[in-house]
Structure 1
């Protein structure tokens, strides 16, 4: 028995050594990644500086130079954010082992805050007795001041947190309160300012260079790289909340899914990347679970992406007829096939484009070019949507009963009429293609599934509404600077979109979350989710 015990102790010791080596290797890798990210950001900053010097020397050239500077600024923004994110990860990894020193990142030289900004002194409460011996014979010998730049709507200010030093006349021990907490290590920006920066970038679609220009006009000069550094650090800080929201979204049995294009900056121009969204919203069928949305970024629109996003999930997916979803519907899929429910708004849109009299006349088409079949199809589909508006928010059983009585006869009559009209049309007719999209053998069961399940909506508008901000933002920020920039955007769009779905002011919620997230245990992170934050927010507003 003693030999067995001795052997067990040796194995435990060997396991501890192996775990220590693995932790050290992980820390080394994180530090190396942070060094590379910082170097890339430095190179991008030098390229931008060279381009600016050339412009100053040779004068402003046409549009091409302006576009080049915009691209360089965006690359610098993304790379600095990457470096901040990697540095935060390196520090967290280094804390897990004592054998690897924390990554010491080259810090940018920070200008002092403008003197014209008002100062607000927050004095940390002084001790009443010596922390070493307990004597009350303590005398102030100096103070340290930590300046934090904070913002109040339309008003800037610098908060001076004063930590007074005291010395004990009895034992000569010097005591001082600990340094104030910052959401970001060695941070200089307050939670409200950080929330404003990320919300304006992702919620108001204002690139950081435009933010920097506006702040400068208000008397506060913050460089592009300084702002990008904060964006990367804030994204790393809030990523755990994105994971919680995604888990909540996947916990339902019915989802809305859709995607949209995102221009991605690449060598020689841009390429078309994708932002995918999955929305959980049970309110149309009187569900009590809070709504939420999760975003994912990918470099292309391959079908492997939705398969990976919904791996292990089973339920009803409301989406368009994109073929990339087909692997999800495979009967052999594990743990089971996803059930498709197609969107009538997509089908209606194909007819509406042929029946939109105003738009077609504006394009110079005569009234005879307007398809009467498309007009009638739109009228019949609109009748289905009118029924849905009357039952929105009711329980699934009540919705299903109304659909069986009112919608089912209309759908049967629509199918019969469309098949009769299709038989008389050429396969090259535009309206024939719209009919084929709706009546396809692979599509029609998905379109009529709402007649079998009261939880299903007639359209996929919930997902399209979630993507509306991205479509508007493309006109402002033109393209994503890198793949990691797209992934950061997915994190922030998830947080901001979920806050909006729950009726929460995203910027106020982000400010509170940034201030609290580092100070609470992981087990209490769900308290910061928008639907759990709504109650305290309401009470504060009432007060």
Structure 2
């Protein structure tokens, strides 16, 4: 009877093992199916037709969610491996890198006993080292400034005391570093002031939004001379980029929003090895008319690379701006019109044009960073024949396509700006597109999606001042908070106006 009972127990145990195995297999199959769906969605997001993708920011969010979902499945597998004492599966992953400048806090984990099983003493023969990134949440601290008062015991000549240090906010509580943090959070990380106030409140620091706004306004006022110096420096260049983008602004009188525009004037000479540091200046204007570009560019004379907006034409139709402005146009905009046609179905003519422009971009990628004379020689030798073929393609199909069709409109656009599109064949400094300036205005588009851009024209003008300096920091590899903190401190301590150029971000990059 005992043997029968033992046998029944073993059978029950085997059944339980089989059921558990079946459950594991079922979970494994479910995970495989989930992974397959996620991988398919991931491939579609990356390699699918661009017409099926959302805007770039939403696209990044979609990838984040897909990668997070995959990580959950991998975590489930790793947890089962730990329970079953199976070795973890190696996974290819970009784990990032830890910069050398970050402080290291070392911890040494010793064995429970330093005595060998044989009774001898253990000695160190090596070690394994691993590094993990740790974060301490933003910590507020209070700087207490004491100014002792001294008096003489032998006379009554008065009291001696050190002068109070200058402050950005007279009688206020923030240090210049605190104000810099507020500026970076608002203008670089797109965190409105009321949300910053909520974050501070969780740390027990109660600050009204209006108080933070006062700090920002005073900082914008003090930084205005640096902004003006940046604008003046850029307009001394012989080649600049320009672009504009809309910015919804509240119209208090009408109780609705109106459409203002930010005009970006940028310099980036790195593709042709120029010595001038990169920079960008934003200027707010209530409209998009060419007169705003004319006002911004007063005193500039050189090559201006732009898109096909007709408002720029007045820059070369008058001599009121500066001597000899030449317009260079953007092949990215021309290509974009053709690509849009290819998305709607078979379009061999448009695809042929896209292929020719792609060949131009391939050559541009090869010569990026070389000297202008080298670039020009290559462009004239290799790009000129491609442009000749493109001209033949343009003339042939333009005569046959309806002017009102999407293809006809794209061909008309290229023909209209063909002279400026070919400007890079006459000057090695000219690039094939104006993507340099388009990258600088991406933060504007991001902020525009998050919320109403500005509550007033004056607020938009302040945005232009601070964002110009922050984006110029980024272009020069300068950490914006460090630069703002140091610059505001220098201004408060009486930095001379005649030496304001020493406060520009690229000068800070040299001194640190």
Residues 331, 337 of structure 1: 8 Å contact kept: no
2:338 corresponds to = 351
Decide whether the 8 Å contact of 1:206 with 1:476 is kept in 2. no
Please point out which of 245, 249, 264 is paired with 2:234.
Answer: 249
Please state which structure has a larger fraction of its residues in strand.
Answer: 1
Task: Indicate yes or no: 2:429 matched with 1:455.
Answer: yes
Which of residues 153, 163, 182 is equivalent to 2:147? 163
The CA deviation at 1:335 is 4.1
**Alpha-carbon distance in structure 2 between the residues aligned to 1:259 and 1:335:** 20
Residues 329 and 338, structure 1, Cα contact 8 Å, conserved in 2 = yes
What is the CA–CA distance in structure 1 between the aligned matches of 2:215 and 2:363, rounded to whole Å?
Answer: 49
Give 2:288's match in structure 1, choosing from 280, 285, 301. 301
Contact 1:207-1:476 within 8 A present in 2 as well: no
1:184 Cα deviation after fit: 2.8
* Counterpart-to-counterpart distance in 2, 1:222 and 1:188: 11
1:427-442 map, 5 Å: 427-440=403-416
SS in 1 for 2:250: strand
Distance 1:253 1:301 in 2: 24
Q: Deviations over 1:53-101 (max 9, x none)?
A: xxxxxxxxxxxxxxxxxxxxxxxxxxxxxxxxxxxxxxxxxxxxxxxxx
Distance 1:316 1:535 in 2: 28
1:472-517 Cα shifts (integer Å, max 9, x gaps): 1112232211111111011011111111111101111101111111
Work out the CA distance in 1 between the residues paired with 2:184 and 2:232. 23
Structure-2 residue corresponding to 1:466:
440
Choose which of 222, 230, 236 in structure 1 pairs with 2:207.
Answer: 222
CA contact under 8 A between 1:371 and 1:431: conserved in structure 2? no
Which residue in the other structure is 2:76 paired with? none
* Pairing 1:104-253 to 2, within 5 Å after superposition: 154-172=138-156, 173-253=158-238
Q: What corresponds to 2:323 in structure 1? A: 336
**1:524 counterpart = 2:499:** yes
Runs of 4 or more, structure 1, over 6 Å off, are none
Match of 2:483 among 502, 509, 518: 509
Give the equivalent residue in structure 2 for 1:488: 462
Cα deviation, residue 518, structure 1: 2.4
Give the Cα–Cα distance (whole angstroms) in 2 for the partners of residues 165 and 312 of structure 1. 55
Distance 1:166 1:393 in 2: 63
Q: 2:100 — aligned with what?
A: none
Whole-Å Cα distance in 1 between the matches of residues 511 and 321 of structure 2?
Answer: 41
Q: Structure 1 pair 304/331, CA: closer, same or farther in 2 (3 Å)? A: closer
Separation in structure 2 between the aligned mates of residue 180 and residue 518 of structure 1, nearest angstrom:
9
Partner of 1:395: 371
How many positions carry a matched residue from both structures?
Answer: 373
Give yes or no for the alignment of 1:317 onto 2:291: no
Alignment of 1:15-34 (within 5 A): none
Q: Deviations over 1:93-125 (max 9, x none)?
A: xxxxxxxxxxxxxxxxxxxxxxxxxxxxxxxxx
**Any conservation in 2 of the 1:286–1:394 contact (CA below 8 Å)?**
yes
> Cα offset for 1:334?
5.6
**How far off is 1:521 after superposition?**
1.7
Query: Is 1:415 equivalent to 2:391 in the alignment?
Result: yes
C-alpha distance in structure 1 between counterparts of 2:318 and 2:287, whole Å: 26
Structure 2 SS opposite 1:428: coil
Give the Cα separation in 2 of the matches to 1:315 and 1:341: 10
DSSP-derived class of the 2:384 partner: helix
The CA distance in 2 between the partners of 1:294 and 1:513, in whole Å, is 18
Tell me the residue number matched to 1:536.
511
Cα distance in 2, alignment partners of residues 221 and 535 from structure 1 = 38
State which of 278, 303, 324 in structure 2 corresponds to 1:291: 278
SS at match of 1:162: coil
Deviation at 1:525, TM superposition (A): 2.1
Structure 2 counterpart of 1:444: 418
Determine the C-alpha separation between the residues in 2 that align with 1:517 and 1:334: 32
Does the CA-based 8 Å contact 1:341-1:447 persist in structure 2?
yes
RMSD, aligned α-carbons: 1.4
Rounded Cα–Cα distance in structure 2 between residues aligned with 1:525 and 1:426 = 57
Counterparts of 2:170 and 2:191 in 1: how far apart (Å)? 25
Using the size of structure 1 for normalisation, the TM-score is 0.67
Q: Which of structures 1 and 2 has the bigger CA Rg?
A: 2
Q: CA deviation at 1:333?
A: 4.2
1:286/1:395 contact within 8 Å kept: yes
TM-score, normalising length: structure 2: 0.71
Matched, 1:275 2:262: yes
